Chain A
Amino acid sequence: MTNRLDLPEITWHRVSPRYIVVDVVGGLVFALIVVGAGAAVAYFTGLTWLWIVVAAVALVFVIALALTPRRVRSIGYQLRDDDVLFRRGILYQRFVAVPYGRMQLVDINRGPLDRALGLSELKFVTAAAATGVVIPGLAEADAEELRDRLVALAESRRAGL
């Protein structure tokens, strides 16, 4: 596992463990819909191979759900002096660095489950669609404080496009 990418000098802020619940429930609902629909089709058509496909898909979902806690733990961010660093993923790792001056806006999204657990999701938007930095599972107050801080930082480092 030494091949894994790492930035050892960074101490990452992790997201709230409560986000695991949000992610698991969301994944479970999706899995149930997909597997349920597949199973229904398989039941009415009576095709054996379709049952095998459904079982395989269900297995993939189970593994993905089992890995959720690790995946959530892999999400991290760090506000440095002039940019924000973000990481996520275990199988597919991704690190992104966004300078504050490049942020065009900061979104806070809260789904129904997020709200029930007092969590928020922070999304950074730059002029590049590919940036794709979303920090889920922040405590509400933290998210708002973080947003205000980021907006202030972005304002003080405003650069041209």
Chain B
Amino acid sequence: MTSFTDGEWHRLHPLTPLLRGGIAFVAILGFFLYNLRDILIEEFFGARSGESEPLVWLYESEYFVLALIAIAVGLAVVIVGYYLAWKMNTFRITDEVVEVRSGIVFRRNRKGRLDRIQGINIGRPLLARLLGAARLEVNVAGQDANIKLDYLSSAAADELRGEILILASGSRIAAAAAQAPAPGGPVSLLDQRVAELLAPELDPNLAPPESVVQMHTGRLIGSLLLSGFSVFVLALIGGIIWGVAATGSYLFLIGVLPALIGTGSFYITRFTRSLRYSIAGTPDGVRIGFGLLSTSNETLPPGRVHSVQVTQPLLWRPSGWWEIKVNRASTSSAKGAAGQANTTILPVGNVDDVRKVLALVLPGLTDDASVELLTRGMLSKGGDDGFVNSPRRSRVWLWFSWRRNGFALLPGAVVLRQGAIWRQLTIVPQARMQSVALQQGPLFRALRLASVKVHTVAGPIVPSLGGIDADEATRFFREVADAAIASSTADTSHRWRSSENAPPLPVMPDAAPPVSAPPVGAPPAPSQNPDGVGA
């Protein structure tokens, strides 16, 4: 197997046409064959069924031969089209860029700079998984700035991700040395498929086990049942019961049945998609993986998290569950676990899980003092707990949360805490802040209060805090503005391995099949297999 990162043009997996759009084609073919069955039965047994079938009608009409030719031509066009599309769709990875060319008539060329990579996603829909293929998506900063390589062979996708991350990391080590055990002799294709299917979602060699957060199945079910959606469903059911009782008519139920079925399938989809959820720290970033049948995993390289928010819906409070979201500079087309936006990196977890995940996404905040402060940020009722909280006079504005509403400045991060009923804690790494604002309207002015805002890239989190004492807010503004400059100058996380200069790597970036790596500093070896993808 050849390395994809040799700067040459490569093609995608040969089954790509089938996986991309061919499924619909196969379905249509199946429909025709099914209908053809009637004709065949008639042909051989003289029996007749399905009188009104359009195919039967066509078979009996004089246009039959013409139709057959039309179908054959159509088939040929589609097949040739798909073949050409595959043939014309090439990609290459150099030291600087990932580049994809595609299109038959309208050519399209897309280049992404490796040092702007915000995440790499590998998706394996069920069918692709069965056929040993995977979809690789490189997310670059910006809207709709994704470079898709669908499909690659499953092993190649894992390997390529590792290689792209190594290149993006600014490492001076060209690539990791091959160290994964080579498969013992030729393995049959079937065995290989089965092995891949049964393999654990997260490769145990990839991440140190203590960094891994697994989804607890009971907690997953509980969190689904205790969601806002369930409240809605309960309200709906209540409404139906009331409706039936009030009118004495059961007609309601007929209209509601599809909704109930939809509800059930919603729960099941969310459940299966979140099963086998894991989030783990690898040397090249945080890896989030999930899925039972169709699996997906995403690697967020270090320094790509622009802000983090830990929230607790009211219903989750008795069980002490939390959810973690992040802001990132790219939008991925792949969905996150539970079909949520892929900015939700922990769908549900207890305080320990939250601590672990925060340590993964904010590696600068793992000292005891910071961890303690963050925990207080989640659980504390407020008061003198290391946060600069709103003054008492702000309770006019913040009825319940004034005790908890406050900020803290940690080395390298700004922490904002809000909400007594819906608790939330927002952490913004200073090195990722875009700007900071201080604001005051007439109401806050009368109370000598002000609000502060930290601007980050667009996402589900808008870090802002209102009702802070005006002097404290001004101090916050000054300090954060200075800290932002200091942190962004010192920050090197976008080239997280550039300080490394000696092999060996602590852990393989992605313990994958052997990489035929060129020696350090050597020019890339010419491709041995121009078609690229060894299936």
Docked-complex contact A157 and B462, CB < 8 angstroms: no
| B37 → chain A closest CB, angstroms | 58
Give the size category of B's interface with A: 35 or more
User: What are the residues of chain B within 8 A of A126 when measuring CB–CB?
Assistant: 434-435, 455
CB of B370 within 8 Å of the partner chain? no
Contact of A102 among B116, B434, B462, B495 (CB under 8 A): B434
Which positions 474-525 of chain B face chain A at CB distance < 8 Å?
Answer: 474, 477-478, 480-481, 484-485, 488-489, 491, 493-495
Docked-complex contact B485 and A83, CB < 8 angstroms: yes
CB of B436 within 8 Å of the partner chain? yes
Residue of A nearest to B118 (CB): A161
User: What are the residues of chain A within 8 A of B116 when measuring CB–CB?
Assistant: 161
Docked-complex contact A99 and B446, CB < 8 angstroms: no
| A95 → chain B closest CB, angstroms | 4
A7 to B474, CA, bound (A): 8
With contact pairs A3-B445, A7-B478, A157-B489 given, residues A97 and B457 touching in the complex (Cβ less than 8 Å)? no
Docked-complex contact A97 and B484, CB < 8 angstroms: yes
Contact of B446 among A3, A92, A98, A133 (CB under 8 A): A3
Would you give the 0/1 interface string for B433-475, flagging 1 where the beta carbon is closer than 8 Å to chain A? 1111111111001101010010111100010000000100110
CB of B432 within 8 Å of the partner chain? yes
Docked-complex contact A91 and B435, CB < 8 angstroms: no
Contact of A93 among B431, B440, B484, B491 (CB under 8 A): B440
User: What are the residues of chain B within 8 A of A96 when measuring CB–CB?
Assistant: 435-438
| B123 → chain A closest CB, angstroms | 24
Number of A residues contacting the other chain (C-beta, 8 Å)? 30
Contact of B435 among A93, A133, A159 (CB under 8 A): A133
A148 to B491, CA, bound (A): 26
Docked-complex contact A5 and B440, CB < 8 angstroms: yes
A89 to B40, CA, bound (A): 82
Docked-complex contact B436 and A97, CB < 8 angstroms: yes
Which positions 1-30 of chain A face chain B at CB distance < 8 Å?
Answer: 3-7
A6 to B478, CA, bound (A): 11
Known: A7-B474, A130-B437, A131-B435. 8 other contacts (CB 8 A): A3-B446, A91-B441, A93-B441, A102-B435, A126-B455, A131-B434, A159-B491, A161-B457
Binding site for B on A (CB under 8 A): 3-7, 82-83, 85, 91-99, 101-102, 126-131, 133, 157, 159-161
